[in-house]
Amino acid sequence: MNCELLNKNYALLPESYLFSEIARKIAAFQEKHPEREIIRLGIGDVTRPLVPAVIEAMHRAVGEMADPATFRGYGPEPGYPFLREAVAAAEYGSRNIDIGPDEIFVSDGSKCDVANIQELFSADCSVAIPDPVYPVYLDSNVMAGRGGRLMPDGRYGKIHYMACGENNGFQPNLPPRGTALIYLCSPNNPTGTVLSRATLEKLVAFALDTGAVILFDAAYADYIRDDRLVHTIYEIPGAKKCAVEFHSFSKSAGFTGVRCAFTVIPREMETLRRMWLRRQSTKFNGVNYIVQRAAEAVYTPAGREQTRDVISGYMRNAGVIREGLRKAGYTVFGGEHAPYIWWRLPDGVKSQAFFDFLLEKCAVVGTPGSGFGPEGEGFFRLTAFGDPAKTREAVSRIAEMPAFPA
């Protein structure tokens, strides 16, 4: 084949997607040291089984698929009404926010949706992303040619990086005027910090003023422990005119291996809503029926109570890591309203080198902060999704870890 035909933007991406590269390193370590028990606090993957309410709904739906009278073929591309209605009521109606079922688009994952949404915008529009943040926002825009030149410091020339760190309390400043797309993630992956109401009000006002669109990733909203914090961007007046919101069942109900999510595009952004409907009808064929019944079950009283218990368990792990590391003398952020702990490494320690060090010395896996953007350098992410006993064991190992090599 003629390689001149290929999308050259792919060549601008680092060789490996962060998490695939980590998986490779872990496999190599385990092969070399088969006797050591690795504790994985790296990838943000859940470990607790699906809750009983979900399992029951799945068995029931599998049964329906076996019977000609109840079998389901293609469903509506944006999702079955039963699920869209349940989402509208539970996620928004319950907060007195008027979002209707036709503004909700069910999909097989927020990763897909946050990666695909950029297709609705022109190839040359300008993009602002938090730094550090989940890498998919950046990578999907680089693939589409919005990155510009890859610079020696790892930044892309046309991307505006909104630094979120200690010195601004993890609250980004406004991007430059003329920015078209503003990605936000709150609670943030990887820092575990939450955007304040004041920050969101400023960003919404900016978007309304400039015509920018906010792409708000709320995948971890159910980990927020304080009702006064913002759970959905639509709590901010005016957001329906400028913001798309992404939610997932992956972390809220342990669906990482099940695959279900939803995206909200309000009627106030009707052109965009219709474009997304067109995109999904053309390039997507809806979510598995059994999965949609499973997601519906998350919103039953039993499903809500059971998933809340699972989240509480993960958040206890978060507390164990946060407090354990603090007691050992480290500085950490996050872990209060998110399943991520953001660990500041001693001055001058590089996060990739620290990944190798921690794996070698403690057989504990985390994620190097630099994988989430330039501002992530010098930080390390640990996740609260592990087994409680293993999480405690990891913290003990870390507390006894030798000093970093200079």
Per CB under 8 A, 68 contacts its own copies: yes
State which residue, 28 or 89, has the beta carbon closest to its own copies.
28
Per CB under 8 A, 100 contacts its own copies: no
Per CB under 8 A, 25 contacts its own copies: no
Site string for its own copies, 129-168 (x = CB under 8 A): ------xx--xx--x-x-----------------------
Of the listed pieces 26-34, 69-77, 195-203, 340-348, which binds its own copies according to CB under 8 A? 69-77
What span, in angstroms and rounded, lies between the C-alpha atoms of 281 and 261?
16
State which residue, 95 or 274, has the beta carbon closest to its own copies.
274
What span, in angstroms and rounded, lies between the C-alpha atoms of 328 and 310?
27
Residue 91 is given by DSSP the state I
Collect all residues with Cβ–Cβ distance below 8 Å to 400 and sequence separation of at least 6: none
State which residue, 177 or 228, has the beta carbon closest to its own copies.
177
What span, in angstroms and rounded, lies between the C-alpha atoms of 143 and 164?
24
Structure-derived torsion over alpha carbons of residues 86, 90, 92, 95, reported in degrees to the nearest 10: 160
Do 220 and 335 meet the contact criterion of CB atoms below 8 Å apart? no
- Among 42, 79, 109, 172, indicate the residue that binds its own copies (CB under 8 A): 109
Per CB under 8 A, 122 contacts its own copies: yes
Per CB under 8 A, 259 contacts its own copies: yes
Residues forming beta bridges with residue 182, ordered by sequence position: 128, 214
State which residue, 174 or 272, has the beta carbon closest to its own copies.
272
What span, in angstroms and rounded, lies between the C-alpha atoms of 297 and 94?
17
State which residue, 279 or 361, has the beta carbon closest to its own copies.
279
Per CB under 8 A, 205 contacts its own copies: no
Helix (H, G, I), strand (E, B) or coil at 215: strand
Per CB under 8 A, 282 contacts its own copies: yes
- Among 290, 321, 325, 365, indicate the residue that binds its own copies (CB under 8 A): 290
State which residue, 200 or 345, has the beta carbon closest to its own copies.
200
Per CB under 8 A, 238 contacts its own copies: no
52: Cα separation from own chain's centroid: 25
Per CB under 8 A, 316 contacts its own copies: no
Q: Which amino acid is at 327?
A: K
Per CB under 8 A, 17 contacts its own copies: yes
Per CB under 8 A, 27 contacts its own copies: no
Per CB under 8 A, 87 contacts its own copies: no
Per CB under 8 A, 265 contacts its own copies: no
Smallest gap from residue 128 Cβ to its own copies (A): 13
Q: Which of 278, 293, 287, 295 is nearest to 74 (CA)?
A: 287
What span, in angstroms and rounded, lies between the C-alpha atoms of 160 and 337?
27
Do 216 and 245 meet the contact criterion of CB atoms below 8 Å apart? yes
Q: What is the CA radius of gyration of the chain?
A: 21
What span, in angstroms and rounded, lies between the C-alpha atoms of 207 and 205?
5
Q: Which residue has the tokens 């004041």?
A: 198
State which residue, 45 or 201, has the beta carbon closest to its own copies.
45
Which parts of 221-300 fold into alpha helices (H)? 249-252, 270-283, 289-298
Looking at residues 45 to 64 of the shown chain, list those that interact with its own copies (rule: CB under 8 A).
45-50, 52, 55, 58-59, 62-63
State which residue, 139 or 375, has the beta carbon closest to its own copies.
139
Q: Which residue has the tokens 């052109």?
A: 271
State which residue, 163 or 208, has the beta carbon closest to its own copies.
208
Smallest gap from residue 170 Cβ to its own copies (A): 25
Site string for its own copies, 211-230 (x = CB under 8 A): xxx-----------------
- Among 283, 308, 326, 327, indicate the residue that binds its own copies (CB under 8 A): 283
Of the listed pieces 42-50, 83-91, 224-232, 358-366, which binds its own copies according to CB under 8 A? 42-50
Q: Which of 161, 175, 173 is nearest to 376 (CA)?
A: 161
Structure-derived torsion over alpha carbons of residues 84, 86, 89, 90, reported in degrees to the nearest 10: -120
